[in-house]
Structure 1
């Protein structure tokens, strides 16, 4: 018999979330996650995927993945430190380091795993972490796991960061101090002020950590936000994912050789979780090689991002201050954002609502992710649907 206490807890809290418009329904996709998707037999223009460059369905990646299944099997068979490190993982890490402009790199099973692994492998209870208030949940959890003192600074506020760095340093109570930020903030699409952050880090001898999950493949002609600012020699940790613009699954940290050596002996997801599959490793390598050879997909992504932004702004939607193709439509009230998303769905656009706790209360939104795979015709159709629903609901 299941626990009454647990049942009461679950039922009360699920009911509460539903009443506040904060309960997220999951919509299984039938088939590939491309520019158009099928959900419950309905075809929709897909504006909710992180598949920025369309690589998740790229024929070149599918080909090498199939070949890897034949040559290496479907699984790595062990954790990396026993005998789960295949030649394909070594090749992937070499390719990541070349892509990011660092001495070395280490790959993990997911971007979330990276932040859980890397922060706690270097920081401990005698340390402090200066963390941007809008940092991703995985950064927050990675910081908590380290048991370091977490000092939040106002979003991209360099005066606040400098003041808090000064206070932490002068207190003399911490062995090490790290400053950690997203490279691209995924809910608003703005870019971190990395040159200023690095300047403050140099002034106070802070360790620098940039989570570039939404920047890799997108900023810096594809090489990411750190390279966009030419700071690859000044940032200690460059973290990224292989599951967004790269189109596959996994994550990585790129940096100096001694950092990577340390993470290979001290980061727990690397030590205690089986490596990504051979197909995933080689497909990720192939994707990065494509990005290093040509900016064609990157350029198309940015062109589509500009086109969608202009169209929605002209209609009168609040699209915030995004500096990347991420295009939020900020509605405000949570239930209204969910209702707007539901009407878009009915009309043929899949644009998921994002509400608290992912974004602050009262800033409920529909977040649009145009990709390199969208055609102008698809975007025109989406903009027309936005106009219809926006006017109908009194949003514009």
Structure 2
């Protein structure tokens, strides 16, 4: 049989699931320049509009002048520089934890944390809609992986009660990246505490957005003191790059000793850490960003519902329009692009079969007129 790569690629094309990167010719922001055309950008995760903020850019530039453009080594060799330490301390304080530990990406943070915490003979319990990095980490850990129905705390409790593994780790997104809804963290923690299990939350899409200071889902759901393992990313609402895990002193020391994706990779550039420190401060202090974003979300949901589009249960910046058919979602995305609006069609395997969608993401960088223009384009495309 061999490696018939072309057949696999042809099959994906035939099912309208072939994906290619769009080449951007401008910074991330309210607009995108792609293919020589300027479009309104409604598919970026830059929720607070900080990715191209002048103060964040200046912090990056100044730190690059001082620290160079590469850290030169892993954290445990000689790559852990003062900006890294300052950012870890600030993230720990922001998330109400004893310590935080930086990773180069969110994917690496999830792989490192889960494989350091559980292994063969243990059990990992995952929401069916968890991010791919969480699912992959569970498989790579060697622990027995079990998946429970989306946001179903009763199903989780039943699985935990039947499990006899010495260590039981429950893993969930805080805000689900393709649906935009939030996990029922209090109910999950009730189930965990009844079965001597730990809960880990990937809050990539909640950090910076939820809670009045942007401290994420654990604070928004008032369960932060009960949550053992918190992961957040810097490349979404905070507008830079990288990720971190926050928790107790013992948790962080365990990750330093056993998380392979921390030990065996070069530390992020110190300039990224310095820029992230500024964006974190701005995210905490500049409440208008979340207030404006909330108003835009409400405006979009109201308008899309009036147009008859299928909305999902989300009050976050992630506002999917459920289309269903792969080809139809792709055609709608292309129709919007012709009108100067960039919204990516999300198709399987990223989402389940029959649930292709347009994943609209809103940003504090957008204006009300931008949302109205998007709604107008959707109305025209619908007709």
Task: Place the TM-score, normalised by the shorter chain, in its bin.
Answer: over 0.9
Q: Distance in 2 between matches of 1:251 and 1:241?
A: 4
Whether 1:372 aligns to 2:332 is: no
Alignment-derived partner of residue 188 in structure 1: 179
Q: Distance in 2 between matches of 1:32 and 1:294?
A: 22
Whether 1:101 aligns to 2:92 is: no
2:17 counterpart (10, 17, 22): 22
Q: Distance in 2 between matches of 1:181 and 1:68?
A: 35
Q: Distance in 2 between matches of 1:176 and 1:286?
A: 38
1:294 deviation in Å? 2.9
Q: Distance in 1 between matches of 2:313 and 2:33?
A: 31
Alignment-derived partner of residue 217 in structure 1: 208
Matched residue count: 382
1:248 counterpart (235, 240, 251): 240
Whether 1:57 aligns to 2:52 is: yes
Q: Give the match's secondary structure for 1:213.
A: coil
Q: Distance in 1 between matches of 2:87 and 2:9?
A: 42
- RMSD over aligned CA atoms reads 1.0
Alignment-derived partner of residue 152 in structure 1: 147
Q: Distance in 2 between matches of 1:256 and 1:265?
A: 14
- TM superposition score normalised by structure 2: 0.98
1:329 deviation in Å? 0.6
CA offset digits 1:337-361 (Å, max 9, x no partner): 1111111111111000000011010
2:29 counterpart (34, 53, 59): 34
- TM superposition score normalised by structure 1: 0.95
Alignment-derived partner of residue 201 in structure 1: 192
Q: Give the match's secondary structure for 2:321.
A: strand
Unaligned 5+ residue runs, structure 1? 392-396
Q: Distance in 2 between matches of 1:381 and 1:132?
A: 36
1:176 counterpart (167, 171, 175): 167
Alignment-derived partner of residue 111 in structure 2: 116
Q: Give the match's secondary structure for 1:57.
A: coil
Unaligned 5+ residue runs, structure 2? none
CA offset digits 1:228-251 (Å, max 9, x no partner): 122222111100100000100001
Alignment-derived partner of residue 307 in structure 1: 299
Kindly report which structure 2 residues correspond to 1:185-334, keeping only aligned pairs within 5 A, or say none: 185-221=176-212, 222-334=214-326
Alignment-derived partner of residue 394 in structure 1: none
1:72 counterpart (59, 67, 72): 67
1:25 deviation in Å? 2.2
Alignment-derived partner of residue 349 in structure 1: 341
1:5 deviation in Å? 4.1
